[in-house]
Amino acid sequence: DGGITQSPKYLFRKEGQNVTLSCEQNLNHDAMYWYRQDPGQGLRLIYYSQIVNDFQKGDIAEGYSVSREKKESFPLTVTSAQKNPTAFYLCASSIPQAGVNEQFFGPGTRLTVL
């Protein structure tokens, strides 16, 4: 788990502002993911990327955007279009192997909208 970092740990945003969450990994993993976690709920997939310069929407992509210009980095932007952005955001990476997809998670970023 030490190979994935997220920053910042805590982030405060005013309504109407865009904010970008950082995710970096040095595990040489091809695939990276962003999840949102709300109290009492499981992990919901926002976006994922299986290779550089390619990414797909997950289950709750509205109001979010991503880029994957480098293998090591998968930043997530929470835009003003996201109506309820306060949540715990988790980044993960994996090497998909024949359907096996063990994911390694970063420490998370807690975003609070003021």
Binding site for other proteins (CB under 8 A): 1, 35, 40-45, 48, 59, 90, 96, 99-108
Nearest to 7 by CA among 62, 89, 79, 81: 89
- Closer residue to other proteins (CB): 80 or 88: 88
CA 104, 17, 66, 41 torsion-angle sign: positive
Report, in Å, the least distance between residue 41 CB and other proteins.
6
Query: In the complex, what is the shortest distance from the CB of residue 100 to other proteins, in angstroms, rounded to a whole number?
Result: 5
Nearer to other proteins, 2 or 16 (CB): 2
Cis, bond preceding 107 (omega within 30 deg of 0): no
